[in-house]
Amino acid sequence: MNLPDTHLNRRDFFGWSVGSVAAMAAFSGCGGIGYRLGEDLGKAPARTFSISLAEWSLHRSLQGGQITNLDFPRVTREVYGLDAVEYVNSFFKDKARDEKYLDQLKKRCDDHEVVSLLIMCDGEGRLGDPDEKARAQAVQNHHRWVDAAKSLGCHSIRVNAASAGSYDEQMKLAADGLTQLTEYGASQGLNVIVENHGGLSSNGAWLAGVMKTVNHPRCGTLPDFGNFNLG
């Protein structure tokens, strides 16, 4: 299968990944990774940890019609040799309540021995909306993705903590919406994790404050380390 937005074959991909890990180990002082500077990384050794594939990595192929969301597990296994996936809800937006579709997707994962980890949820309203009714609706909109994630065997949904107002106002509002959603997620055995995805959520101190305010073991973060901005 030709994936126009994918230029690395499996061997190159893992060679690059291992090289990156080795470089990080050299700078961080991590001694348990198992590689030494100067070691020949031409052949990627067996991985000692699992790597998941975020569906957004294939967004050009998905948006261009080369593959569909149902192909994602097979591509993950056959093209990249990986064993875990992270879905993006926009690629099966109208299927959250479609049990037949979700069963089919889960079967494809099972057939390819791929584990579903989470669903990244966008476009469902602001969980920290200043309008109470709009905020409640945003929470309700996310319920279907909690249910879909449970059906697929995921452990979490990833959400955004969008809001408006002052620094403190947004913290309070986002924490309120997240608390409501987390309580529902917890009732289904699911976690709700927040990505630093623009606005004040990209301020680490603010996001940490939101987590402290929510103070729930089922609510956490999914950090994008290149997306923090204090400016």
**Are 193 and 199 within 8 A, CB to CB?**
no
Domain ranges of the chain: 10-49, 50-221
pLDDT of residue 125: 98
d(C-alpha 55, C-alpha 147), whole Å:
19
**Are 110 and 148 within 8 A, CB to CB?**
no
For 8-44, how does the pLDDT look when each residue is reduced to its tens digit (9 = 90+)? 444 444 444 444 433 333 333 343 333 333 444 455 5
Q: Which CATH architecture has domain 50-221?
A: Alpha-Beta Barrel (3.20)
The neighbouring-strand residues paired with 219 are 192
Residues of the chain whose pLDDT is less than 50? 1-2, 4-41, 231
C-alpha closest to that of 122 among 203, 201, 225: 201
The Cα-based distances of 130 to 126, 138, 163, 165 in angstroms read: 9, 11, 7, 8
d(C-alpha 20, C-alpha 16), whole Å:
6
Residue linked to tokens 């301020």: 203
Record the pTM: 0.81
d(C-alpha 83, C-alpha 100), whole Å:
23
**Are 167 and 207 within 8 A, CB to CB?**
no
Q: What single letter denotes the amino acid at residue 132?
A: E
For 209-228, how does the pLDDT look when each residue is reduced to its tens digit (9 = 90+)? 999 999 999 999 999 988 88
